[in-house]
Chains A and B, each alone.
Chain A
Amino acid sequence: ILNVEQSPQSLHVQEGDSTNFTCSFPSSNFYALHWYRWETAKSPEALFVMTLNGDEKKKGRISATLNTKEGYSYLYIKGSQPEDSATYLCAFCLSGNTPLVFGKGTRLSVIA
Chain B
Amino acid sequence: NAGVTQTPKFQVLKTGQSMTLQCAQDMNHEYMSWYRQDPGMGLRLIHYSVGAGITDQGEVPNGYNVSRSTTEDFPLRLLSAAPSQTSVYFCASKDRVGAEKLFFGSGTQLSVL
Chain A interface (Cβ < 8 Å from any Cβ of B) = 1, 31-32, 34, 36, 42-46, 49, 51, 89, 91, 93, 96-97, 99-105
Contact = CB atoms under 8 A, between A and B. Distances in A.
Question: Which 6 residue pairs spanning A and B have beta carbons closest together?
Answer: A46-B101, A32-B99, A104-B42, A43-B104, A102-B43, A99-B48
Contacts, number: 56
B1 to A, nearest CB: 15
B45 A99 contact: yes
The secondary structure that dominates the A interface is: loop
Contacts of B45: 99-101
A34 to B, nearest CB: 6
A51 B99 CA distance: 7
Interface residues of B, number: 26
Nearest to A41: B107
A31 B105 contact: no
Contacts of A44: 43, 90, 102, 104
Given A1-B59, A99-B33, A99-B48, A34 B43 contact: no
Given A102-B42, A104-B40, A104-B42, A43 B90 contact: yes
B104 A105 contact: no
